[in-house]
Amino acid sequence: MKLSANITEIIACSILIFVSIVGNAILIYCTWRCISRRVPTSFALIFSLAIVHLCKNLVVNTMNIVSSAGIRFNSAGCKVGRFTASVTTTLEIWFTLYMAVFYCIKLQRVVYPLRTAPNGKWRKHHLIAMLALWIAAIAVCCPYLVFSGNVENMPQQNASSFFHHSFLYEECQVTFRDTEVELYYGQIFMVIIDLLPLAILGIASFRIVLLFREKKKAVYGNIWIGHDATETEVLRASKIIVFLMFLVTSLWVSHYIWVYYLKYTMSWYFTPAVLAVLFSGYSSLSPYLLMLINYKISLKLRSLRSFCCPYNKKKNSPDGQKSIVEDPIVEE
């Protein structure tokens, strides 16, 4: 039996929501359990990304499912959907860039150690900067809620129609009263605030690759003489950041190209499902990579797995102490 466009989109969005809820819930739980006294910068970044990913899937993909089921949204619902889609996409790119720059600087210090101890007050500045990113993203995307004037609802297609419409891009088109605002804000500015951070993210990832090459060339007793638990986390996190850069960039570019040529691809019944996967793929897959960044989160995952699967528990040492050593990581 051939699947229709609506059923295909419902299945794709349901899988994306399920994968995102499981991954982000585990990520938030493990991150929260790892916090002892103060919130480390890496934990705050991971926690922020997890919240953004959950909002993106629970709101936008749920609205996609409802729309595919035949329930139409009014003007307010379309505006909320467009606003949530824009602000979550912007935040996930910004926070990924922030994490890339953060670990790029830490990797720089691993390869070229400082002569003095790092300033611990930077942690407070990082938290303020992350709060500023939340406020800035909401402010940038607010025109979709405040200044948008028209919401064009596409008419329902009859049974003989060969066109399949997506919720965000065809069924609910949020436009502005002024055509110049629509052009400069909706089509140019909103693309730049995503594309420019992606370009900087690529530069930061390229710098990380160069630092890895310099570390590999370093000889014993010259620059790099080995690494402890803190440096192990930085090295592992830097590798994951490079992979995250390829993931978010490829999905964003593919999604933008597909939307740009949407009028040529709407005759394909799988187009709405592909748009949903390209739009929410990063928010569903990245949590499973973010779990590998911090050493403490990895320990919590092992303990959670041992709790769920008791037969996989390792025996304690004869003196009754566990063989796991706490991670002496000092966050900035």
For 144-178, the DSSP string reads HHHTEEEEEEPPPP-TT------IIIIIEEEEESS
How do residues 283-307 score in pLDDT, each as one tens digit? 999 999 888 886 667 666 666 555 5
Q: Where do runs of H (alpha helix) occur along 35-167?
A: 41-55, 62-68, 75-111, 122-141, 143-146
Distant-in-sequence, close-in-space partners of 304: CB < 8 Å, separation ≥ 6 = 26, 29, 30
User: What is the distance between the alpha carbons of residues 229 and 74, in angstroms, rounded to a whole number?
Assistant: 54
Quickly state the pLDDT bin for 245 (edges 50, 70, 90): very high
Which tokens is 291 given? 């779990």
How far CA 151 is from CA of 15, 43, 82, 283, in Å, comes to 29, 39, 11, 27
End-to-end CA distance of the chain: 57
Residues β-bridged to residue 86: none
User: What is the distance between the alpha carbons of residues 195 and 231, in angstroms, rounded to a whole number?
Assistant: 31
Domains present along the chain, CATH in parentheses: 5-156+166-312 (1.20.1070.10)
Lowest mean per-residue pLDDT among 58-72, 268-282, 303-317, 318-332: 318-332
How do residues 211-230 score in pLDDT, each as one tens digit? 888 877 765 545 444 556 67
Average pLDDT in the 96-116 region? 86
Secondary structure of the chain: what % helix, strand, coil (to 5)?
70, 5, 25
CB 54 within 8 A of CB 91: no
pTM assigned to the model: 0.82
Which tokens is 151 given? 């919401």
User: 153 — phi, psi (to 5°)?
Assistant: -95, 120
User: What is the distance between the alpha carbons of residues 274 and 254, in angstroms, rounded to a whole number?
Assistant: 10
Residue 26: CB atoms within 10 A of its CB come to: 18
User: What is the distance between the alpha carbons of residues 20 and 175, in angstroms, rounded to a whole number?
Assistant: 30
Average pLDDT in the 54-60 region? 93
